[in-house]
Amino acid sequence: MPPESWADDEKWKIERSKEAEDTIRSHITTHLLDPQTLAFGLADSPVATAAWIWERRRNWSDNTGDVEQSFTREHLCTTASLYWCTESIGSSLRLYHEHFKKPWPLAHNRLPRLEAPTGIAVFPKDVVHLPHSIIKEYTNLQHYTVMPEGGHFAAAEKPELATQDIQKFFRALR
């Protein structure tokens, strides 16, 4: 996004995006270009699956490098077990490949593109941020909250904050 897209009070989002850039680039590139090779390796080893999941939780959450500041070991083990026991790590890796190689066609050319009432919660340690102006232009933005804490997996990391914000959004639609 060009710098002029960002309001002065959003400059921190640019800095956060720069912090996360290398991790995100490697993640998306691997998933986009060669998801199946990675899938075979992760599907063959519960330790590899856990390491892949835990590393993302550590790097993409609101902590100082200690993943257990954001998630309990039980939560991390349960999450990795869900992927391992359901043999779904491979299909989860294909999301980026399918999205970028075979994108859905737009349903219409009107603005906003997303016409349904939209609520956005911005968590400061997320790895992808958009300027408020772009969100407002392309969605029917009804609710926008910049959260005090949380990262990419905010619903699991900060469930109280996420739940309260979702409730506030839907109450306003009544």
Query: Do residues 170 and 147 make contact, with C-beta atoms less than 8 angstroms apart?
Result: no
Q: Which of 50, 66, 101 is the endpoint of a domain?
A: 101
At residue 50, the pLDDT reads 98
Task: Please state the rounded mean pLDDT for residues 63-81.
Answer: 97
CA distance 39 to 5: 37
Whether 1 shows a pLDDT value over 90: the answer reads: no
Domain span at residue 156 reads: 106-173
The structure tokens listed for 113 are 């593109």
Which residue is it, tokens 């998306």?
Answer: 28
Task: Please state the rounded mean pLDDT for residues 138-155.
Answer: 98
Query: Does the N-terminal peptide bond of residue 117 adopt cis geometry, omega within 30 degrees of 0?
Result: no
Find, among 145, 163, 40, the residue nearest to 93 by Cα: 40
Total count of domains within the chain: 2
CA distance 116 to 140: 6
Whether 96 shows a pLDDT value over 90: the answer reads: no
Instruction: Tell me which of 1 and 156 has the higher pLDDT.
Output: 156
Q: Do 130 and 156 fall into the same domain?
A: yes
Q: Do 121 and 53 fall into the same domain?
A: no
Q: Do 66 and 145 fall into the same domain?
A: no
Q: Quote the mean pLDDT of the chain.
A: 95
Q: Do 37 and 94 fall into the same domain?
A: yes
Q: Do 90 and 18 fall into the same domain?
A: yes
- Give a yes or no: residue 2 inside a domain: no
Return the DSSP state at 146: E
At residue 123, the pLDDT reads 98
- Give a yes or no: residue 6 inside a domain: no
- Give a yes or no: residue 112 inside a domain: yes
| pLDDT confidence band for 140 (50 / 70 / 90) | very high
CA distance 117 to 70: 30
At residue 12, the pLDDT reads 95
Percent of the chain with pLDDT over 90: 84
- Give a yes or no: residue 133 inside a domain: yes
- Characterize 89-120 residue by residue with b for buried, 16 or more Cβ atoms within 10 angstroms of its Cβ, and e for exposed: beebbeebbeeeeeeeeeeeeeeeeeeeebbb
Containing 20, the helix (H) or strand (E) segment is helix 11-33
At residue 8, the pLDDT reads 93
- Give a yes or no: residue 1 inside a domain: no
